[in-house]
Amino acid sequence: MIFYHGTELASAQSLHHDLLLDAAIAADLHIDGADGFYMATRFEDAEFFAARRAIVGEPAVVRLESSSAAYGELVAAGAKTQPIPGGRPPYFKGEELFVPAALFEHFNQLVRRGEIVVVKHPAD
């Protein structure tokens, strides 16, 4: 399964080199919504969120690949695939996978097992 995370370039490079999630860092970078890690199912939707980060750096989109089993584990533990909140332009075409901060260690275990990986770096 392919997901996209819109952010700014420095964070994208950090995720590329060490995909492990940190609740304190996520809280510091939080803009809106519940605390957690958000991944869009469509690149174009992630680009919107990357552009929102342009005020603190160059926008970038990180592409992540998850095994179906890893996705199933996250959802069983409380992650949610849901419509991206909106209702006014831009109208999002995909959904988002929301991983609550409480599941970051579970996410990180899946990364360590190689079941979630960054498959494309924005500068590649």
pLDDT per residue over 37-83, tens digit each? 999 999 999 999 999 877 767 999 999 999 999 999 999 999 999 99
- Max Cα-Cα span within the chain: 39
pLDDT greater than 70 at residue 106: yes
Q: Angle 68-77/104-112 helices, nearest 10 degrees? A: 160
Mean of the per-residue pLDDT values for the chain?
87
1-23 pLDDT, tens digit per residue, is: 999 999 888 888 888 888 888 88
| 2-8 and 59-66 beta bridge pairing | antiparallel
**Band of residue 26 on the pLDDT scale cut at 50, 70, 90:** confident
CA distance 67 to 86: 28
**Band of residue 87 on the pLDDT scale cut at 50, 70, 90:** low
Which pLDDT score is estimated for 102? 95
**Band of residue 124 on the pLDDT scale cut at 50, 70, 90:** very low
CA distance 7 to 62: 8
